[in-house]
């Protein structure tokens, strides 16, 4: 049935994202990946649940914890790894790295390194959809750390004034870098932050809860304008690879959430209990995904590094400036 297909596809996507991130973690520690790397382990249900309710023509823009969203949009495993490795075969041709995945063909706009900057951009993408009278929404994602950014509130305001079809999603993983939401936010009800925009708090560790909330949010956004979803989730790793993730929270906290709320394990048990799959079948799927991911990583390592001509100067636009300029502040007083 379609329901069974959707349930299994959500499982496969979550497992693919987890395996991709585990592989990236190992590659970083082997010094094959340099610079910044922000892993999505633990938060997979947000992406998989939303994608189960969205359409391919919808748009997604997020911050720098972006690998899962790129894959959820249909991005290539090999191109994802190649981007992490800084190779020409990467989804941003090796120019962006971990924080700047991009896939225009699948309506994925990154991958943005400036905290909160994707808020106004997402509102602009939604404006474009409305201007062209298209039945599309833009999912604009940010974290609890970015929820206090002023530009986000400007985006809320414009989106509500113009009834823009955007779903603002706060992925609340409880910590902005190493600072807990209790220490950073005077109002921790992130779904109420927009005040005049309707909001909902969702169990972001339950892929079906996320799917149900997204279906409602998409219908609302198209018909009435913006909505805010607060996804309560949790990241297992540190903020980035330089953060061990245990200086501001206990190992016991991490272990307890992994044991009781892991989105993949919860969904695995649900599939088995509903008779949609048995343990042997799911283990076979896990093995197949691991093989696909390993093969994609091996292929990505064969992609050449970009040359200066292919990378540094390839996408620059040169504008010829006029030789004579008449700018007010530069006109001599005698004229």
Per-residue pLDDT of the chain (335 residues; tens, 9 = 90+): 456 668 999 999 999 999 999 999 999 999 999 999 999 999 999 999 999 999 999 999 999 999 999 999 999 999 999 999 999 999 999 989 999 999 999 999 998 999 999 999 999 999 999 999 999 999 999 999 999 999 999 999 999 999 999 999 999 999 999 999 999 999 999 999 999 999 999 999 999 999 999 999 999 999 999 999 999 999 999 999 999 999 999 999 999 999 999 999 999 999 999 999 999 999 999 999 999 999 999 999 999 998 887 676 777 776 666 666 665 555 555 55
Q: pLDDT tens digit string along 285-333?
A: 999 999 999 999 999 999 999 888 767 677 777 666 666 666 555 555 5
Structure tokens given for 202: 């969702």
Query: What is the number of other CB atoms lying within 10 angstroms of the CB of residue 117?
Result: 18
Structure tokens at 236: 């297992």
Q: H or E element: which one contains 77?
A: helix 77-84
Q: Quick check: 67 and 24 in contact, CB under 8 A?
A: yes
pLDDT for res 196:
96
Which pLDDT score is estimated for 319? Answer: 65
Model pLDDT, residue 276: 93
> Taking a C-beta distance cutoff of 8 angstroms, is the pair 53, 115 a contact?
no
Q: What local confidence, expressed as pLDDT, does residue 183 receive?
A: 96
SS3 202: strand
Note every long-range contact of 276-283, with CB atoms under 8 Å and residues 24 or more positions apart, other chains counting.
Answer: 276/4, 276/7, 276/8, 277/8, 277/11, 282/11
Query: Token pair of 237, please?
Result: 């790793």
Q: What is the pLDDT of residue 322?
A: 63
Q: How far apart are CA 70 and CA 309, in angstroms?
A: 27
Q: Write the pLDDT tens digit of every residue in 45-66.
A: 999 999 999 999 999 999 999 9
User: What pLDDT score was predicted for residue 306?
Assistant: 87
**pLDDT value, residue 313:** 72
Size (the chain), residues: 335
Q: What pTM was computed for the model? A: 0.92
| Residue 270 CB burial class (10 angstroms; 0-12, 13-18, ≥19) | middle
CA nearest to 141, candidates 203, 72, 230: 230
Q: What DSSP line would sit under 130-189, residue for residue?
A: HHTT-S--EEEEEETTGGG-HHHHHHHHHHHHTT--EEEEEEE-SEETTEEHHHH-S---
Cα–Cα distance measured from residue 183 to residue 161, given in angstroms and rounded to the nearest whole number: 32
C-alpha–C-alpha distance, residues 314 and 233, integer Å:
39
Report pLDDT for 4: 63
């Amino acid at each position: 049935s379609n329901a069974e297909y959707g349930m299994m596809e959500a499982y496969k996507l979550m497992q693919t994202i987890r395996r991709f991130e585990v592989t990236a973690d190992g590659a970083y520690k082997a010094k094959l990946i340099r610079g910044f790397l922000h892993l999505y382990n633990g938060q997979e249900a947000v992406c998989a649940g939303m994608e189960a309710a969205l359409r391919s023509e919808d748009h997604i823009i997020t911050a720098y914890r972006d690998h899962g969203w790129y894959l959820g949009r249909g991005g290539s495993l090999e191109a994802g790894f190649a981007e992490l490795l800084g190779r020409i075969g990467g989804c941003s041709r090796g120019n962006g790295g971990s924080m700047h995945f991009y896939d225009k063909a699948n309506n994925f706009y990154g991958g943005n390194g400036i905290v909160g900057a994707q808020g106004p951009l997402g509102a602009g993408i939604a404006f474009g959809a409305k201007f062209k009278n298209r039945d599309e929404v833009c999912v604009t994602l940010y974290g609890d750390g970015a929820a206090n950014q002023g530009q986000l509130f400007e985006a809320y305001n414009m989106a509500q004034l113009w009834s823009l079809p955007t779903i603002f999603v706060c992925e609340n993983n409880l910590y902005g870098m190493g600072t807990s939401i209790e220490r950073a936010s005077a109002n921790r009800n992130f779904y109420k932050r927009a005040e005049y925009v309707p909001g909902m708090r969702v169990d972001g560790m339950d892929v079906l809860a996320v799917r149900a909330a997204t279906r409602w949010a998409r219908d609302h956004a198209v018909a009435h304008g913006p909505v805010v979803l607060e996804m309560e989730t949790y990241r297992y790793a540190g903020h980035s690879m330089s953060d061990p993730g245990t200086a501001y929270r206990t190992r016991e906290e991490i272990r307890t959430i992994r044991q009781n709320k892991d989105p993949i394990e919860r969904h695995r048990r649900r599939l088995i209990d509903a008779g949609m799959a048995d343990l042997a079948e799911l283990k076979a799927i896990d093995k197949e995904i691991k093989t696909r991911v390993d093969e994609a990583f091996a292929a990505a390592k064969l992609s050449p590094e970009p040359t200066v001509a292919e990378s540094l100067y390839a996408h620059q636009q040169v504008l010829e400036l006029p030789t004579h300029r008449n700018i007010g502040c530069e006109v001599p007083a005698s004229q």
